[in-house]
Structure 1
Amino acid sequence: MSARFITYLHSMSFLNKGFSLFIFAGMLFSGCKVMSPKAYQSMLNVQDSLNQGWRAAQIKIDNLEDELAKLQADTASLGRKLASLEKSLSSSSGEVKKLAANLAEREERLKEVEDVLRKREEAGNLLKDKLQRALLGFRESGLTVEMREGKVYVLLADKLLFPSGSIVIDQHGKQALAELAKVLDTQPEINIAVEGHTDDQKVRRLGQIKDNWDLSVLRSTSVVRYLTEEEGIDPRRLIATGKGEFTPVDTSSTTEARSANRRIEIVLSPKLDELYDLIK
């Protein structure tokens, strides 16, 4: 190999050692023939192209490694979220089952209460019909039977029971109460409230009767005493109250309105023990 060729190789400082060895080896295998500058430059161009391809490939590899690391982190995060959701879903499933059981229980209780109320209404209607038939002969004397809010109301005008200003039941009134008692005897599950009502006219002072409060209460207790003492109704089933002039059925000031307001109301309602047991 000539000194001139060795000097030329040293002058090419940008070549790396590996590639120089590659050229050198090529020259050796080519019989130590001197490579022309053109051929050498072509070889350098090939090396540059290979280096650029290698760098591009390395960049892609680096990018893929970054993407892999991100995917691994995302996968781990999603795995934790999934585990948390599964745990939450399991807990929610238990709550849903508990709520469903509570709902079924409440629906069953609602059905029971509705059944009791329906039976009470049916019993009330039957009682109303029975009373209307039993007291049919007293309608013209001021007796009516009504159904309100599951209760039966027997309304008796004061003239049917009492002489004017009196608290003593007359004979006609006793007959009406006797017919009423016959029906009540067959309905031991019915509670009885007797309410006395007056008009808004002030009463004259009549012995123990000082005002409309007294008149309404004493007339009510007179009816209760008759039903218990004369007709044998269990006194534990009865309540006597007086409401004076403060719950009128007609608020006008006519004679007819005042007459309608002077009344005894016998309120019949079924015992609610079964209903109370359900709602405890």
Structure 2
Amino acid sequence: MKKIVIALSVLTLFASCVSKKKYNELEARNKETQDLLNSCTVKLNSCLEEKAGLAASVAGLKEHNETLITTSKNLTMLTSKGAENLEKSLESLKEKDLKITRLQDALTRKDSVTLALVSSLKSSVGISDPDIEINVEKGVVYISIADKLLFKSGSYDVTSQAKSVLAKVAKVVNDKPDFECMVEGHTDNVPYLGNGVLLDNWDLSVKRSTSIIRVLTNQLGVKPEQLVAAGRSSYVPLVSNDSAENRARNRRTRIIVLPKIDQFYDMIEKEMKKQKQ
């Protein structure tokens, strides 16, 4: 309360000492100064905010610049590695292309050799019957004979007609005394209903194989140690057993000539020389 009284007294004294006009001028100048101060304060705050924004932008640009520099270095490294990898890939593709070309050439030569060898075997033994097939796969000669040339239906007794066919097979085997030959019997899928020691198509296929072997060894001079008996029953058909004609194709005996690899290529080499003459 005392402070208020003192302040009023001072103002009264000041008012009494200064004229009204002078007071008003001072009051106006004070207001202008206060307005100017407020305006400067606003501008200062705005500048401070702008400065803070610019500082943040500079920091961001600096960080971005550092990121770009790092990325540029990484890209340079990646480009260098990419060029190396691309070069290696191109070399690998060239090697693969070369291998493919060599394989294609080898397959072409193999096909030519196979045809030449099959032709030679057929001509050497005089085999031209469509029921006798000769082919070569992976260094193995296959001679497939339809069962109608060898056996009666459901029987394992070799017919008299079969001996003339087997004589041609024996010539092939006897011409290659170091080779082994597997005689492989095949049946259709009709269950075997015969009586006696044979129980099923397994027995029938093996029995037909041993019957052929006995003719080859006992009557046609093939060495027994060259021969192997085998039966496949109905489980390796050439075609589906869905017709009488197809079942007849599946009933067959296959003579598999098994040369040693060096002997096989020696045989091929000789045959190819003949073809060039």
Question: Smaller-chain TM-score range?
Answer: 0.5 to 0.7
Q: Distance in 1 between matches of 2:96 and 2:186?
A: 39
Q: 1:247 to 1:83 in 2, by over 3 A?
A: same
Q: Map 1:72-91; keep pairs closer than 5 Å.
A: 72-75=58-61, 77-78=63-64
Counterpart in the other structure of 1:173:
166
Counterpart in the other structure of 1:140:
129
Counterpart in the other structure of 2:251:
262
Tell me the TM-score normalised to structure 1 length.
0.53
C-alpha deviation, 1:67, in angstroms: 1.0
Q: SS where residue 129 of structure 2 aligns?
A: helix
The one-letter code matched in structure 2 to 1:62 is L
Counterpart in the other structure of 1:202:
192
Q: Does 1:70 align with 2:56?
A: yes
Q: Does 1:119 align with 2:106?
A: yes
Q: Distance in 1 between matches of 2:258 and 2:79?
A: 47
Aligned partner of 1:131 among 118, 130, 134: 118
C-alpha deviation, 1:270, in angstroms: 11
Q: 1:193 to 1:59 in 2, by over 3 A?
A: farther
Tell me the TM-score normalised to structure 2 length.
0.53
Unaligned runs of 5+ in 2: 1-12, 262-277
The one-letter code matched in structure 2 to 1:252 is D
Deviation per CA, 1:20-72: give whole Å up to 9, x if none: xxxxxxxxxxxxxxx85565456445424532342132112211232134225
Q: 1:196 to 1:39 in 2, by over 3 A?
A: same
Superposition RMSD in Å: 5.7
Q: 1:149 to 1:49 in 2, by over 3 A?
A: farther
Unaligned runs of 5+ in 1: 1-5, 12-34, 273-280
Q: Distance in 1 between matches of 2:164 and 2:234?
A: 26
Contact 2:185 2:231 in 1 (8 A): yes
Counterpart in the other structure of 1:158:
147
Q: 1:38 to 1:225 in 2, by over 3 A?
A: farther
Contact 2:163 2:215 in 1 (8 A): no
Contact 1:157 1:264 in 2 (8 A): yes
Counterpart in the other structure of 1:56:
42
Q: 1:244 to 1:121 in 2, by over 3 A?
A: farther
C-alpha deviation, 1:83, in angstroms: 7.3
Q: 1:264 to 1:130 in 2, by over 3 A?
A: same
Contact 2:184 2:254 in 1 (8 A): yes
Per mean C-alpha deviation after superposition, the further-off stretch among 102-111 and 213-222 is 102-111
The number of residues matched between the two structures is 235
Q: SS where residue 37 of structure 2 aligns?
A: helix
